[in-house]
Structure formats: structure tokens, C-alpha cells
Structure 1
Amino acid sequence: MSDAYVSTFDRPIIEQSEQVRARFIVRTYGHLFGAIAAFVLIEVGLFQSGMARQIAEAMLGTSWLLVLGAFMVVSWLASRFAGTSNSMPVQYAALGGFVLAEALIFVPLLYIADATAPGVIASAAVVTLAGFGGLTTIVFWTRKDFSFMGAAIKFAMVGALLAILGGALFGFHLGTWFSVGMVVVAGMAILHDTSNVLHHFPANRHVAASLQLFASVALMFWYVLRLFMSSRD
């Protein structure tokens, strides 16, 4: 990739031509749907091979703080490499590593859901995709810049992390309202990330944009699924 290409396409997408913006959006959402498809295929492979049970038992039998810590490290590294590297292989490796990490972290929740509440996974997936579609439509229809939500989302995520750590350390249960709150936070993240796709991402960062959108969709799916599971209790 030439220096001239990098200097041109490293500018925010809002400063690019209509053709460049359209290509960026198509590439971003193409990669997002590819990441979702890869996530689904990994989960199907793990469950059909029987590995899901082994992974779930191993993860449920260890400290959840270690699992959470490892996941946070992978998430941070993936976002950093995808967002800063000019090497497309590195960006794709970051996206692929993040999808794999998400697939593994979801195994225990999906395993429990499949065993205790048949059909709830499909219902949660439909609701998540409908919510994502609705929020995406709002951003594309209004063209509003939701980047102002960034600070509130970070504050909410730090608070949620502290609550999760507190629950793991002191044994208190994070109830239904926590899941409801996290679904709202995930919705805010989707609005924020989608508006960044329209306004702020550099034109050569479609892989990083798809990674952030995938992370927000996965977050919503996680807590929608938890809500559905709690309603079956």
C-alpha cells in the first residue's frame, strides 16, 4: 500500500467522496456479517463435535475472573491492532482472533441455555438482529452523529465490569435489571459505532469498524440471551 493511498484514505470517512463512503460501508457490513457467520459456524462445530461440553465444563470449573481477564486482553489487543495497523493481514488476524475469543467465551452460556431452555438461543438471536437492524436504520435515516455517547458508554462499561468483578469475588447475583441495563448499553454502543461508520472511521479501517460493530452485537446478544434464560426460571 503506497504512502499516498494511506495519507488519503486515513482521513475520516465523512471527508471522502460519496463513492469512497459507499464502498467503505459495504465493506464494513460485509465483514460484519462474515464475522457473525464465522461465529455461528465455530459454535456449531464446537457443539456438533462435543467439544462445547468439554470447554463449558473447563471454563465453569475455573475462576471466571481469569476467563474474563483473558477475554479483556484479547479484546484490547484485537481492537488496537485492527485500529492502528496498516497491514491488512494483521487487521484480519485481529478480527479473526476476536471472533474466536467471543465464540469461546460464549460456549458456557450457550451450553447452559441449550440444556435448560431449548429454543431460547434462536429467540435471543432474532431479537438481537432485530434490535441491531432497528438501531442501524435510525442512524442511517437520521444521519445523526452519536459519538457524544462514547464517554457514557465507557463509564457504563467500567461500572458493569466492577459489578461483575464484585459478583465474582463476593458471590452476589447480578439480577434481571443488570441484564436490562446492559442491553441498553449495548444499544447505545450500536448507535455510537454505526454513527462512527458514517462519520469518523478512516476509509482504510473497515476491518476495525466491523470488529467494533461485532463486539456491540455480541454484547447485546449475550444479555438478551441472559434475559430470556431468566424468564424461563
Structure 2
Amino acid sequence: MNQNTAILQSAQSSQSVTHKVLRNTYALLSLTVLFSAGVAIFSMVNNLAHPGLLVTLVGYFGLLFLTVKTRNSGWGLVSVFALTGFMGYTLGPLLGSYWAGAPAVVGQALLATGAIFAGLSAYVLTTRKNFSFLGSALFVGILVAFLAGLGAMLFDIPALSLAVSAMFVLLMSGLILYETSNILHGGETNYIMATVSLYVAIFNLFTSLLQLLGFMQSE
């Protein structure tokens, strides 16, 4: 009886930790998305220049590294907002270019991103399906897509850029499934890192849809 009680208490404790991580992750994710959106709008309205590819990469990976290093302290929260604010700043000029020529595309991409995130998250939380098997494939796929995206920008290949955007829509959808499942099944217990993963998925999903929808409207 004592052994059964201990097992039950352990299961309840594990479930409590999972619920806490989920709750904290979605709360922080909501705040970072709103903060990032505010910075993006500020950047767009004030016509701030894009920092350029090199600064963007250094800023992103530098702040990501800082967030990983400080994830278990209060400074981790500061790092998360610095990272998402910086990404919002880089998004502003892109939004400005679409808003000037095709403002409806921005709304469509935003609605599609929200619907995809909500739908995939609800699916995992409802079915409790484990998507940990996607981990290796997602890592390789994101690396390939990232390198292909750099090639498309450096060599100015629009067709490759569109193909990369389509790849990222699929990969980021997979990342949402994977990370939500990872939290649910106890694979991710740090809500700061869970927030970063989901934010990056949402950010890349939105920008990829923005490019694809913008291309379709221009045809």
C-alpha cells in the first residue's frame, strides 16, 4: 500500500510540475509576443532601418546564447524580452514594406499563424500524443532550411526563397507539435526555454506565411 501511495504521489507531483511549466510558458509567451509586436510596430511606424543580415544573426544568436546561460535565474526573463524585442525590431521594416503595398497580407498572415498555433497546440494538449520522434528530423530540416535561406538571400534567388518559406511553414508547425508535446510529457521543464522555442516557431511561421501570401497576391 505504501509503495502504491508513493507511486501515486510521484505521478501527481510530476503532473503538477508539467501543469506549472505549461501555465508559465503560455503566460510568458503571451507577454513576449505582445512585447515583440509592440517593438515591431514602433520600428515600422518610425521607419527604422533593418540592421542587416550580419547584425541580425549576431544579435539573435548572441541573445539566444545569453538566454540559455541565464535560463535558471531572473536574468533569464530579461534575456527573453531582449531577444524577442530584438526580433520584433528586425520584423518592423519587413512589416512596413508589406503594409505599404499589401496591408491585407499582414492580417491574413497574422490570422493564419494564430489559427495554426492554436490548432496544433490544442491537438497535442487534447490527444496527449508524443511527438518526440520529430526531434532529429526537425533539427536537420531547420539547419538545411536555414542554410538554404542564407543562400537565397546572398545570391538573390527568389524561387529558392519561396521554397524555404514553404519549408519553414512545415518545420515550424512540426516544432510547435514537438515542443508542446515535450512540455506535456516532461521533456522540457524550463519554461523560459519552452517559451523561446515556441516564440521562434511563431515568428518564423508568421514571416514565412507573410512571404508566401505576399507572393500569391502579387501574381
Task: Please report the TM-score for the alignment, with normalisation by the length of structure 1.
Answer: 0.80
1:131 positional shift: 0.2
Matches within 5 A, 1:62-211: 62=52, 64=53, 66-74=54-62, 76-82=64-70, 85-87=71-73, 89-173=74-158, 174-199=160-185, 200-202=187-189, 205-211=190-196
Partner of 2:35: 38
CA distance in 1 between partners of 2:98 and 2:59 (Å): 21
**Retained in 2: the 8 A contact 1:136–1:191?**
yes
1:108 positional shift: 2.4
**Amino acid corresponding to residue 54 of structure 1 in structure 2:** L
Deviations 1:69-108 (CA, angstroms, capped at 9, x unpaired): 22442353145225xx421x22102211111121122122
CA distance in 2 between partners of 1:231 and 1:41 (Å): 27
**Retained in 2: the 8 A contact 1:153–1:185?**
yes
CA distance in 2 between partners of 1:92 and 1:186 (Å): 23
CA distance in 1 between partners of 2:154 and 2:211 (Å): 20
Which stretch shows the higher mean deviation, 14-23 or 125-134?
14-23
CA distance in 2 between partners of 1:55 and 1:193 (Å): 33
1:16 positional shift: 3.6
**Retained in 2: the 8 A contact 1:81–1:90?**
no
- Deviant stretches of 4+, over 6 Å: none
Deviations 1:168-227 (CA, angstroms, capped at 9, x unpaired): 33332224333222100110011111111112112xx21221121111111111101111
Q: Equivalent of 2:201, from 198, 203, 216?
A: 216
Which stretch shows the higher mean deviation, 20-29 or 93-102?
20-29
Gaps of at least 5 residues in structure 1 are 1-13
Partner of 1:4: none
Aligned Cα root-mean-square deviation (Å): 2.0
CA distance in 1 between partners of 2:99 and 2:22 (Å): 35
Partner of 1:27: 24
**Retained in 2: the 8 A contact 1:77–1:94?**
no
Partner of 2:48: 54
1:34 positional shift: 0.9
1:109 positional shift: 1.4
Task: Tell me which of the two structures has the higher relative contact order, counting C-alpha pairs closer than 8 angstroms and 6 or more residues apart.
Answer: 1
1:29 positional shift: 0.5
Identity of aligned residues (%): 26
Residues matched between the structures, number: 206
